[in-house]
């Protein structure tokens, strides 16, 4: 390796949008990947998107490993979809490792994945890289920042983090080690930007415990459901604690939370008290047979997800658990940007069933963020003393807000990048040297395909423009009988449909008379039909042309 080569950073996802976090770090000709997550889509029948793989595939033989900061879907959720395109070792702490093993369990190649469980402060040597996992607090167990040393520079990637001096379950931020790293020298800091638009105080899970107890106690005559993220194991443990104190029994609705509890059972976080909580969970049937005021339900769905347990309850689709005016639902979560409409629709469905809802709008302390506010970010700057900064994890507003804030804290060399930028560090400077537009991949029918691939583009065309099918028979340059025309998904009255049919008939007749190759004829008929519909109805439908030849 040429030690004069620059330290290179390529953010592939996680910038300009929330989710699909993935960053390539390069030194010389060697690379590592930090995180490989998904983002949620919920359009065109697609639920999950993964990062663009073009940069990764170009450097696949030189990638030394995937290093995972924590177990949230937007950081770990794409590995089981994309690993076969990378085929390198994965390094992560015990809880993310347990979650990843679950995700890989139905893959026939799962045993090929080299999963390396790493301890905090442990240093891993891969190629010319030395990577150390440093404990940080977050809303999921086992979260770590990564201290990355290379021959061309040092880098610290925070992943997602916060400061919680009294975590009820999980790790305390390792301020001692962060301070030592700052003294050793950090050339570039990649820092979480999610909360850079807020001045609000970021509390502790202990605050949530007190608030939930106070709020739930108000509803002593109702059945209470608390919805939160399945990955927030500390929140689930808090709900168990409050339920015991208020003499309620807990039932968990939906599979995703059970999967998360199974993952905890594979780790050192599975304490005797946690095991006792899990063993005391009611079945759905048991919960519904008990008086409403003796039960507390936990479920996913706080972001309005259409396949979540709470959404099914709101739609009345759970065969056992039914909601009514006996119920109150507490949203122990914040609204992730982009999910506002889904959450509003879900809450409206609940209200129509007579369910009372409680959110952070009226009871602010029933949730605390897992991300740092400006005061916490300032402390991180103080511990690490970075020479340069590249904000990550957030949309453009958040990234630029961190840039402005960093400059008030004495960090003058800040670069706001976009996904697809190639950024180099050299001589105390960050510089964009190239850019490539990133195209998400869609997970569709069990396969991973680019979001701009033909099947997805066709689906888009059908969704927004409808579908027109034209089928006809020819003999030489003669049209045999009238073409069969089928129009779907286009709002047109009988008169307009007659005009469309007449126009398509004339297009077919003209093209057949030209006596050209079948494939050329299909192409030209398709183009002319699209043009006709666009002129008549301002729609661009998907068209299918079928030509049959007679001897």
Which sign, positive or negative, has the C-alpha torsion 179, 419, 424, 150?
positive
Which sign, positive or negative, has the C-alpha torsion 63, 69, 74, 76?
positive
How many angstroms separate the CA atoms of 509 and 480, rounded? 10
Q: What pLDDT, on a 0 to 100 scale, did the predictor assign at position 2? A: 37
How many angstroms separate the CA atoms of 311 and 317, rounded? 9
The per-residue DSSP string of 478-490 comes to EEEEEEEEEEES-
How many angstroms separate the CA atoms of 71 and 161, rounded? 12
Q: Which residues contact 30 (CB under 8 A, 6 or more apart)?
A: 1, 62, 64, 127, 128, 129
Q: Is 284 within 8 Å of 320 (Cβ atoms)?
A: yes
Q: What pLDDT, on a 0 to 100 scale, did the predictor assign at position 1? A: 34
SS3 content of the chain, % helix, strand, coil (to 5): 35, 25, 35
- Print the SS3 string covering 109-134: CHHHCCEEECCCCCEEEECCEEEEEE
Q: For the chain, what is the total number of helices (H) and then of strands (E)?
A: 17, 26
Q: What are phi and psi of 486, to 5 degrees?
A: -125, 125
User: How many residues are recorded in the chain?
Assistant: 551
Residue-wise pLDDT for 244-254, tens only, equals 999 999 999 98
Residue-wise pLDDT for 190-209, tens only, equals 999 999 998 777 778 888 99
Q: What pLDDT, on a 0 to 100 scale, did the predictor assign at position 551? A: 66
Q: Is 448 within 8 Å of 459 (Cβ atoms)?
A: no
Question: What structural domains and CATH numbers belong to the chain?
Answer: 7-200+369-439 (3.60.15.10), 205-366 (3.40.50.10710), 454-549 (3.10.20.580)
Q: 456, 460, 464: which is closest to 533 by C-alpha?
A: 464
Q: Which residues of the chain have pLDDT under 50?
A: 1-4
How many angstroms separate the CA atoms of 73 and 89, rounded? 19
């Amino acid at each position: 390796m040429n030690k004069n080569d620059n330290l290179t950073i390529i953010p592939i996802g996680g910038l300009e949008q929330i989710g699909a976090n993935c960053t390539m770090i390069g030194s010389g000709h060697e690379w590592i990947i930090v995180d490989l997550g998904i983002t949620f889509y919920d359009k065109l029948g697609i639920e999950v998107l993964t990062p663009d793989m073009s940069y990764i595939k170009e450097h696949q033989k030189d990638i030394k490993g995937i290093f995972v900061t924590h177990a949230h879907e937007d950081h770990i959720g794409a590995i089981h979809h994309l690993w076969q395109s990378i085929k390198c070792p994965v390094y992560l702490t015990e809880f993310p490792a347990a979650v990843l093993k679950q995700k890989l369990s139905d893959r026939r190649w799962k045993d090929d994945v080299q999963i390396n469980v790493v301890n905090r402060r442990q240093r891993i040597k891969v190629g010319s890289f030395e990577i150390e996992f440093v404990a940080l607090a977050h809303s999921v167990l086992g979260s770590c920042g990564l201290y990355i040393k290379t021959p061309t520079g040092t880098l610290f990637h925070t992943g997602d983090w916060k400061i919680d001096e009294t975590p009820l379950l999980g790790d305390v931020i390792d301020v001692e080690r962060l301070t030592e790293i700052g003294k050793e020298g950090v050339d570039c800091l990649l820092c979480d930007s999610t909360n850079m638009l807020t001045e609000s105080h970021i509390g502790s899970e202990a605050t949530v415990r007190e608030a939930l107890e106070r709020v739930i106690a108000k509803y002593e005559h109702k059945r209470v459901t608390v919805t939160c993220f399945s990955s927030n194991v500390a929140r689930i443990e808090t709900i168990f604690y409050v339920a015991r104190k208020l003499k309620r029994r807990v039932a968990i609705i939906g599979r995703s939370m059970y999967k998360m509890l199974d993952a905890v059972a594979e780790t050192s976080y599975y304490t005797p008290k946690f095991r006792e909580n899990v063993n005391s969970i009611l079945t759905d049937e048991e919960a519904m047979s008990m008086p409403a005021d003796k039960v507390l339900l936990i479920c996913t769905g706080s972001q309005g997800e259409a396949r979540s347990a709470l959404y099914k309850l709101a739609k009345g689709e759970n065969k056992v658990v039914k909601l009514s005016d006996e119920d109150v639902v507490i949203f122990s979560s914040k609204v992730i940007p982009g999910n506002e409409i889904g959450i509003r629709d879900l809450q409206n469905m609940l209200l129509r069933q007579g369910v009372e809802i409680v959110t952070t709008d009226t009871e602010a302390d029933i949730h605390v963020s897992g991300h740092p506010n400006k005061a916490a970010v300032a402390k991180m700057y103080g511990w690490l003393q970075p020479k340069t900064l590249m904000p990550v994890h957030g949309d453009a507003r958040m990234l630029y807000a961190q840039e402005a804030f960093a400059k008030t804290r004495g960090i003058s060399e800040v670069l706001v990048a976009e996904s697809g930028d190639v950024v180099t560090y050299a001589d105390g400077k960050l510089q964009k040297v190239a850019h490539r537009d990133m195209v998400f991949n869609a997970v569709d029918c069990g396969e991973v395909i680019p979001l701009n691939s033909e099947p997805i583009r066709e689906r888009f065309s059908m969704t927004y423009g409808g579908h027109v099918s034209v089928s006809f028979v020819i003999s030489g340059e003669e049209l045999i009988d009238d073409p069969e025309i089928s129009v779907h998904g286009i709002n047109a009255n009988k008169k307009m449909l007659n005009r469309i049919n007449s126009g398509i008939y004339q297009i077919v007749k003209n093209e057949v008379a030209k006596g050209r190759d079948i494939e050329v004829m299909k192409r030209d008929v398709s183009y002319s039909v699209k043009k006709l519909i666009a002129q008549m109805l301002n729609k661009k439908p998907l068209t299918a042309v079928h030509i049959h030849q007679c001897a």
